[in-house]
Amino acid sequence: MACIHLIGFLLLAAHTIAGAVLYDKTSQSDDVTHMVNDRALVFLGNMMSCTTNRTFLETLVDFGFYGCYCGFGGFGKPVDGVDRCCQTHDKCYEATNLIEGGVCYLTITAYIAPYKYNLHQCDTEDAHITCAGIDKYYWYDFLPKCSVAICKCDRDLAMCIARQPFNKKNRFHNRLKCFGEDVKEQARP
């Protein structure tokens, strides 16, 4: 029995350490299948690049520190529709936590769980993303139910942001402005 667990662990480790993304061009040249294993943040960047017609780097620069919720953390009142999309995404990640009734063991799992997805018609108004169902995961895959849930959160964010106007002035937003006026007054010496 210990041998089976060791083999499973080694397969999981090899699968995770490989870190390769397999691009499977389908019959439609604009469809890309990402079947294994970047890290979730890279997957999210790829999804957002597809739906917003930006390069991966532009996606990081434009949305990594946008408003009060895009990027790590988030608090206060969203500054616009893009920021509301990020707020909803944060809530989606929180809902995946097992403590909240979700399928991920820890909140941090949302940021590291690899998942499987397909990008369709990137860089067009018809761009869309499909997340692989639980049946597309193998027995040794890392938390497949969690991966499916996280993929859906990320997909919904990418699709939501694609529908919102981008306001360049909210990029690199001063997060101190996200605090309410009451908090600002209390923080003054």
Q: Is 69 annotated as a binding residue?
A: yes
- 34 catalytic residue (yes or no): no
Catalytic pick from 62, 83, 89, 173? 89
Q: How far apart are CA 148 and CA 135, in angstroms?
A: 10
Q: Is 111 annotated as a binding residue?
A: no
Q: Is 73 annotated as a binding residue?
A: yes
In a 10 Å sphere around its CB, with 0-12 CB exposed, 13-18 middle and 19+ buried, how is residue 9 labelled? exposed
DSSP 71-114: SS---S---SHHHHHHHHHHHHHHHHBGGGT-SBSSTTHHHH--
Q: Is 115 annotated as a binding residue?
A: no
- 62 catalytic residue (yes or no): no
Catalytic pick from 154, 156, 173, 182? 154
What residues are labeled active site?
A: 89, 154
Binding-site residues from annotation: 69, 71, 73, 90
Binding-site residues from annotation for Ca(2+): 69, 71, 73, 90
